[in-house]
Structure 1
Amino acid sequence: MAVSEWYQPKEGRAEHLVYLNSKAKELEKMLNKEKKMLIRGAAGRKSPLGGRAKIDDIVYFVETGGDMMVTHRGIITNVIETEKMTPDESVTFVNTYEKELNLSKDQYKRWAGKKFLAVFEIDKLEAIEPFKYRREKNMDDWIITESIDDIK
């Protein structure tokens, strides 16, 4: 597969490996343009990614429960992070982006009500030459790295 020139990395930009929920068919929904945004949340004292995911960062995708093969990538085109919210404010926030998130019922239950939420709009989704993610002991569902080559 030829290397795409759709995006040239900018100095200081991160690359991310993001798990997509296979049961909720997140990758399929994104490829069919039925989903434009990803959501992450935290019940603790700060935003889920702490401002470390930025517009123009590259995101690579791996599906949960699979063979750890990374098959697609895209770029972050918008980031919206909340301040600390009440459960009602959190539900309202999730409902605001309901169409773009296209969450399953289980996903909705997981995220609506969290104290902190962030949504990430993804564009320029494309298939890439698949590679295997070397997971080691990392249990996070969103890994931030300087270069994706660091975790191949």
Structure 2
Amino acid sequence: MHNGVLLSVQTYSCLPYGSIAYHLTVTLSSIANPLSCFLAIFLPVYSVGAVAGLAVCGTCWAAYILATALLIPNPPFVGTTLGACLVVIAWVMVCGLVAFIKACIAAILRRQGGQTALYRCGVVTQIGSAIGAVTIFLLLRYTDLFQSYSPCT
């Protein structure tokens, strides 16, 4: 979902909150990804329940991001510092959680299923990203669900 869908709507969800919020989102979420992977090396989570709980948390933040993208030109708390902070936090949390969850899933699969399980996980992940990317492209191109934001209007 992150690679195929969320990154495609990043400008839709961030720009109504201003260029500073957009810049912080792009910069900090790019930092969150490798930091989370690095953290997963030293603090791996092997519990499937804990990984599922983290996934639910990430899904909630991702839902907020999609809501901000779909509700343009008036997403939640637009024009406030709270809104800008929330969208930046949401993006950083999603990017960090997705990276951490992927690393933990890889650790679990490596322990339980070996290389075959990791290979299959990689294949399924790429198929999911492709399906998400094609779906969001079609939604962006051929529907009016996402409106462009113009700060000058």
TM class by shorter-chain length?
A: under 0.3
More strand as a share of residues = 1
Greater Rg by CA: 2
- State the structure with bigger RCO (CA 8 A, min sep 6), 1 or 2: 2
TM-score by length of 1: 0.26
Q: TM-score, normalised by structure 2?
A: 0.26
Larger helix share, 1 or 2: 2
